[in-house]
């Protein structure tokens, strides 16, 4: 009886470890895909969660990227233009300001 409980526990642990490893692998693959993409993104809306994370959407409700988590308060605002070159660890944010003209800054997403 005790041996059966140990075997069942080992199966449970093996399944749990396998699920965690698969989850990590899939997440890393998605991040690699996003990292290798070149894009220009115009922020149409910003959503902040209770956990102080910021998510950015374009006018078609597409989310910015999964490579990096942005936390609140964020420097990115509605109307900003975000550009990332393929395999770059930086995104460039362009903001048009009515007083100063165009304002450009880089953010590290590593």
Mean pLDDT value across the chain? 83
Q: What pLDDT is stored for residue 19 in this prediction?
A: 96
pLDDT > 80? residue 27: yes
Q: What pLDDT is stored for residue 24 in this prediction?
A: 92
pLDDT > 80? residue 69: no
Which SS3 state, helix, strand or coil, does residue 108 take? strand
Q: What pLDDT is stored for residue 23 in this prediction?
A: 94
Tokens of 8: 């069942």
Q: What pLDDT is stored for residue 21 in this prediction?
A: 96
Alpha-carbon gap, residue 35 to 30, rounded angstroms: 9
- pTM score over 0.85: no
Q: What pLDDT is stored for residue 70 in this prediction?
A: 80
pLDDT > 90? residue 36: no
């Amino acid at each position: 009886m005790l041996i059966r409980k140990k075997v069942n526990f080992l199966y449970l642990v093996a399944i749990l470890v396998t699920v965690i490893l698969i989850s990590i692998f899939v997440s890393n693959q998605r991040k690699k895909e996003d990292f290798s993409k070149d894009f220009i993104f115009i922020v149409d809306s910003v959503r902040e969660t209770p956990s102080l994370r910021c998510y950015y959407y374009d006018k078609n409700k597409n989310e910015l990227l999964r490579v990096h988590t942005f936390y609140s308060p964020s420097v990115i605002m509605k109307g900003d233009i975000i550009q990332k070159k393929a395999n770059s660890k930086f995104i460039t944010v362009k903001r048009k300001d009515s007083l100063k003209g165009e304002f450009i800054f880089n953010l590290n997403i590593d």
